[in-house]
């Protein structure tokens, strides 16, 4: 479950932000969103050894592992890297894909074009103890990828030697479980 799914909003000009009700309302919403993100990141830093560069490295590694396992149809390895809800979605995707393709090749071309944090949210399990919480970080990941698909007879159907892909993934981590790791809890389509 994603606490607040990210939605790309239409840009508002500076003048509209200053002189219209809609602009004021949007400015207020944007400010509240930024405060929520700052609070979640501050809590994450306080309770773990969070650093943005280290997290980005870990997120890209997870991104590569999850996409590789998904392409290979490796359900067992996927289970360790994603939440239960995402595991169910991935199982369905693999099952559907296996009816038309015998195999898929996926590869990410290094380095990552861009990775950035869109938002962070904290989900408290207990309102009275905010250390008992989960943190969700929504990332925009822009990468170059190679892709090939083979039909049930093993004949190449489609191949892209280099395609630019933008993904928005939500990673989740428990703040109260010792040794908790980041897991994918959602993908957002825009």
CATH of the domain at 86: 3.10.450.240
Least confident residue range of 34-38, 85-89, 112-116, 157-161: 157-161
Domain membership flag for residue 33: yes
Using only C-alpha atoms, the chain has a radius of gyration, in whole angstroms, of 19
Domain membership flag for residue 45: yes
Sequence-distant (6+) residues with CB within 8 A of 87 are: 75, 78, 79
Q: From start to end of 152-174, where are the E strands?
A: 156-174
Q: Could you tell me if 151 and 130 are in contact, meaning their C-beta atoms sit under 8 angstroms apart?
A: no
pLDDT digits (tens, 9 = 90+) for 3-52: 889 999 899 999 999 899 999 999 999 999 999 999 999 999 998 989 99
Among 127, 121, 130, 124, CA closest to 186? 121
Sequence-distant (6+) residues with CB within 8 A of 72 are: 104
Domain membership flag for residue 83: yes
Domain membership flag for residue 53: yes
> 132: pLDDT confidence band, cut at 50, 70 and 90?
confident
User: Whole-angstrom Cα distance, residue 74 to residue 60?
Assistant: 19
User: Whole-angstrom Cα distance, residue 170 to residue 145?
Assistant: 20
In the chain, how many domains are there?
A: 1
User: Given a cut of 90, is residue 68 above it in pLDDT?
Assistant: yes
Domain membership flag for residue 6: no
Q: Residue 50's domain spans which residues?
A: 15-188
Domain membership flag for residue 148: yes
Mean pLDDT of all residues in 70-82: 95
Domain membership flag for residue 10: no
CA distances from 131 to 4, 39, 116 (A): 20, 12, 26
CA 146 from centroid of its chain's CA atoms: 20
Q: Report the predicted TM-score, pTM, of the whole model to 2 decimal places.
A: 0.91
Domain membership flag for residue 163: yes
């Amino acid at each position: 479950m994603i606490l607040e799914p990210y939605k790309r909003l239409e840009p508002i000009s500076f003048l509209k932000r200053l002189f219209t009700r809609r602009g004021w309302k949007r400015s207020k919403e944007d400010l509240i969103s930024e405060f929520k993100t700052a609070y979640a990141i501050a809590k994450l830093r306080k309770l773990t050894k969070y650093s943005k560069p280290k997290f980005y490295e870990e997120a890209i590694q997870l991104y590569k592992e999850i996409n590789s396992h998904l392409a290979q149809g490796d359900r067992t390895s996927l289970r360790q890297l994603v939440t239960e809800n995402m595991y169910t979605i991935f199982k369905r995707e693999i099952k559907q894909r296996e009816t038309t393709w015998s195999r898929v090749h996926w590869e990410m071309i290094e380095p990552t074009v861009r990775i950035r944090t869109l938002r962070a949210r904290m989900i408290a399990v207990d309102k009275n103890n905010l250390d008992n919480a989960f943190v969700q970080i929504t990332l925009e990941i822009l990468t170059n990828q190679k892709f090939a698909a083979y039909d049930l007879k093993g004949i190449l159907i489609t191949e892209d030697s280099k395609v630019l892909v933008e993904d928005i993934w939500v990673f989740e981590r428990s703040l109260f479980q010792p040794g908790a790791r980041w897991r994918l809890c959602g993908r957002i389509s825009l």
